[in-house]
Amino acid sequence: MSSDVTPVAIIQAAQGFMASKHLFVANEIGLFEKLADGPVALDEIARAIGLPRRTARIVVDAMVALGFVARQGSRYENTAAAQAFLTGRGPMDLRHFLRFWNRLSYPRWDKLEQAVRTGKPLFGELELTKEEQEIFSKGVGAFTTGAAMALATAYDFKRHRHVLDVGGGTGNFLILLLTQHPHLEGTLFELPQAAAVARKTVAASPAASRIKIAEGDVFKDPIPEGKDALILGNVVHLFGPERNLEILRRLRARVREGARLLIVDFWTDPTHAEPVFAALMAGEFLINTGEGDVYSDEEARGWFEETGWRFVERKPLVGPQSLVVAEAAK
């Protein structure tokens, strides 16, 4: 064996679940919020949160090890990323995203082996209680807010008047787009339980008067027609190719020639191994629906040819999220 072959990468990847769970727990107990106003001593952290000092120390030290908390003498403070994204004080609140992965995703990942072995759905299709729906919608919305912000500037919305966001979650894409582009009107199309969460977030936004909410199932119900831009954000990864073809056909039937379809997702390279984040997320989508996956834009081009759309371009947005644009063909 060559001496430059080491097991370090294997051990690091294997320990990844410990890093995740420590971070989730630090978030759940409100550690980063407690440190948001400046350095705090361990005794005070334990007292304020209501933890034994010994166990508080274990979580805090793990956060120091991972670089989310820094130790200054006997006191601890948030590092810049934790302060910006895990205290609820910045524009992107990843506390909701960590809660979603901790409470919904993490327990489900226990079933990855079964999902891989059987290829069968293990859970009812997106079957969530009201509380879980709120955690899911807010968690996804927190994560995709970066992509929504990037979309508002990466794509030229001047040519459009009315944007329909299909499976639009909390409405974060429409809220950010319409706030930045005052000439736009928006409609959010969502399943009833998710629409209930969106109604609250949209109502609290500055764009509320320009956003309508339509309830429905993209496979069964009439999709609002005649809009000139459609967003499909993080929806195709929930489904297999056949159902994605069905979605694209149904959307094409509701718009005029020239309308644009903006698909935001974890688009991969043709091997599905890049970006790494996307390759790992394929497991999340498999577990959740039994047919979910990540796709390359080459695959999307094939879908467009079959469903009356023409590929226009692919643009990076933020991190592993990118945009594929198509135009309604004749």
Residues contacting 82, CB < 8 A, separation 6+: 32, 35, 63, 68, 69
Strand 260-265 to 229-233 pairing? parallel
Least distance between ligand SAM and beta carbon 314 (Å): 17
Nearer to ligand SAM, 79 or 179 (CB): 179
Q: What is the CA radius of gyration of the chain?
A: 22
Least distance between ligand SAM and beta carbon 233 (Å): 3
Nearer to ligand SAM, 56 or 294 (CB): 294
How far lies 16's CA from each of 13, 21, 70, 143, in Å? 5, 9, 21, 20
Would you state the structure tokens that stand for residue 24, as one six-digit string? 């989730």
Return residues touching ligand SAM (CB under 6 A).
126, 137, 140-141, 144, 167-169, 172, 190-191, 194, 217-219, 233-235, 238
* CB atoms closer than 10 angstroms to residue 219: 11
Nearer to ligand SAM, 40 or 151 (CB): 151
Residue ranges of E strands in 101-144:
none
Q: Rounded to an integer, what distance in angstroms lies between the CA atom of residue 241 and that of residue 330? A: 23
Least distance between ligand SAM and beta carbon 140 (Å): 5
Helices (H), 155-309: 172-180, 192-203, 241-252, 276-289, 297-307
Would you state the structure tokens that stand for residue 108, as one six-digit string? 């489900």
Nearer to ligand SAM, 134 or 190 (CB): 190
Least distance between ligand SAM and beta carbon 186 (Å): 13
Calculated CA dihedral for residues 61, 66, 67, 73, nearest 10 degrees: 20
3-class SS of residue 311: strand
Nearer to ligand SAM, 32 or 97 (CB): 97
Least distance between ligand SAM and beta carbon 188 (Å): 9
Nearer to ligand SAM, 44 or 132 (CB): 132
Nearer to ligand SAM, 82 or 264 (CB): 264
Lay out the sheet containing 69-72: strands in order across.
40-41, 75-78, 69-72
Nearer to ligand SAM, 30 or 167 (CB): 167
Q: Rounded to an integer, what distance in angstroms lies between the CA atom of residue 256 and that of residue 253? A: 8
Q: Rounded to an integer, what distance in angstroms lies between the CA atom of residue 323 and that of residue 194? A: 23
Least distance between ligand SAM and beta carbon 280 (Å): 16
Least distance between ligand SAM and beta carbon 329 (Å): 24
